[in-house]
Amino acid sequence: MTETVIYLEDIDPIILFGSNNILLDKIRSLFPRVKIVARGNEVKCIGEEGEIEIFSERLNEVIDYYRKYHRLDEDDIERLFSDEEHIRKAAEGSFEEVIVYGTNGKPIRARTIHQLQLVKDYLNNDLIIADGPAGTGKTYTSIALAVRALRNREVKKIVLTRPAVEAGERLGFLPGDMKEKLDPYLQPLYDALHDMIPYKRLETWIEDGTVQIAPLAYMRGRTLENAIVILDEAQNATVSQLKMFLTRMGLCSKFIMTGDTTQIDLPKKNESGLLQAIRILAGIEGISVIRFDERDIVRHRLVKMIIRAYEENEKNSPGKEDENKQ
């Protein structure tokens, strides 16, 4: 057994250990074979020499990460202790680029490997397909790119759309006019925009058509030019709807489709246009297909475990093969 003391410099131990030692507990869980005792600006490590060397290296990378990006949470800790690609990209400063500044002045950056890939692929492709679990920042990152392009006058408008898949209720039975019926489906898009555009300016842009938010069905017959167009929840668009959407692409436009092919709400999963699009469009020049995974989840720490549990349950459920054939 080896005992080593690491002295913390240029970082407040409260930041590294977290409130009520929540980050320290996360670090301990990732190195169960190393006894870690933190006191003031000292971290004492007891364990096998090889394990302590790896731990010391990772801890220094976490400290360097905070110096570069001025943030640290449980997700950052987990990625920096376990994801080699994320560690390399962080050391290179790849996550430093600010996509856009939010309404509170907070910088919005890519936080994960696949968010970073989305930002980079956006520069070289006119159609991006981002598939992956909930909470991975697919739509939020896409909207940040759209807001940046609008502010930089690279495009004249942003168009955000979603398929209005009914979850057990008919739209006709919901109260209010058509806008009031549909707004609940579109609220996540409004939420993201409010994070990035001041309220009054957003209202003005919505009124003059600079920012348009509408159900997918409203895209029929349109040609969308000089625009960034984002289709959210694309897994719930049928094959014909998605073909209709993709053929709306006009000159000087970029299209981004985001969705989760494990959460298809259509009666038959094989009717999902997103599944077909990924299969037949991947490999075409100018089209990027990005597969997000649980490593990209930036929501509550339980979301990752919930998704993992559902995936395991689905794998082990009888009749799964028959369901996929429907």
pLDDT digits (tens, 9 = 90+) for 227-253: 999 999 999 999 999 999 999 999 999
Last residue of a domain, one of 92, 123, 150: 92
Residue 150 lies in a domain: yes
Last residue of a domain, one of 65, 92, 119: 92
- Tens-digit pLDDT profile for the chain (326 aa)? 788 888 888 788 888 888 888 899 988 888 888 999 988 888 999 999 888 888 888 888 888 888 888 888 888 888 888 778 887 888 788 888 999 999 988 899 998 999 999 999 999 999 999 999 988 999 999 999 999 999 999 999 999 998 876 433 344 544 555 556 566 777 888 899 999 999 999 999 999 999 998 888 888 888 899 999 999 999 999 999 999 999 999 999 999 999 999 888 888 888 899 999 999 999 899 999 999 988 888 766 677 678 778 777 877 776 554 555 44
- Of the candidates 162, 303, 273, 98, the one whose C-alpha atom is nearest the C-alpha of residue 292 is 303
Residue 97 lies in a domain: no
What would the 3-class secondary structure string for the chain be? Answer: CEEEEEECCCCCHHHHHCHHHHHHHHHHHHCCCCEEEEECCEEEEEECHHHHHHHHHHHHHHHHHHHHHCCCCHHHHHHHHHCHHHHHHHHHCCCCCEEEECCCCCEEECCCHHHHHHHHHHHHCCEEEEECCCCCCHHHHHHHHHHHHHHCCCCCEEEEEECCCCCCCCHHHCCCCHHHHHHHHHHHHHHHHHHHCCHHHHHHHHHHCCEEEEEHHHHCCCCECCEEEEECCHHHCEHHHHHHHHCCECCCCEEEEEECCCCCCCCCHHHEHHHHHHHHHCCCCCEEEEECCHHHCCCCHHHHHHHHHHHHHHHHCCCHHHHHHC
User: Are 253 and 169 members of one domain?
Assistant: yes
Domain containing 83 equals 2-92
Per-residue confidence (pLDDT) for residue 130, from 0 to 100: 96
What CATH code is carried by the domain that includes residue 110? 3.40.50.300
User: Are 88 and 149 members of one domain?
Assistant: no
User: Are 85 and 232 members of one domain?
Assistant: no
How do residues 168-215 score in pLDDT, each as one tens digit? 334 454 455 555 656 677 788 889 999 999 999 999 999 999 999 888
| Sole residue written with tokens 């250990």 | 17
User: Are 151 and 6 members of one domain?
Assistant: no
Residue 312 lies in a domain: yes
Per-residue confidence (pLDDT) for residue 165, from 0 to 100: 63
Per-residue confidence (pLDDT) for residue 170, from 0 to 100: 46
CA atoms of 65 and 294, how far apart (whole Å): 21
User: Are 321 and 224 members of one domain?
Assistant: yes
User: Are 304 and 176 members of one domain?
Assistant: yes
User: Are 165 and 281 members of one domain?
Assistant: yes
User: Are 169 and 307 members of one domain?
Assistant: yes
Count of domains for the chain? 2
User: Are 34 and 111 members of one domain?
Assistant: no
User: Are 86 and 119 members of one domain?
Assistant: no
User: Are 67 and 135 members of one domain?
Assistant: no
Q: What angle do CA 273, 237, 231 make, to 5 degrees?
A: 105
What CATH code is carried by the domain that includes residue 37? 3.30.1370.10
User: Are 118 and 245 members of one domain?
Assistant: yes
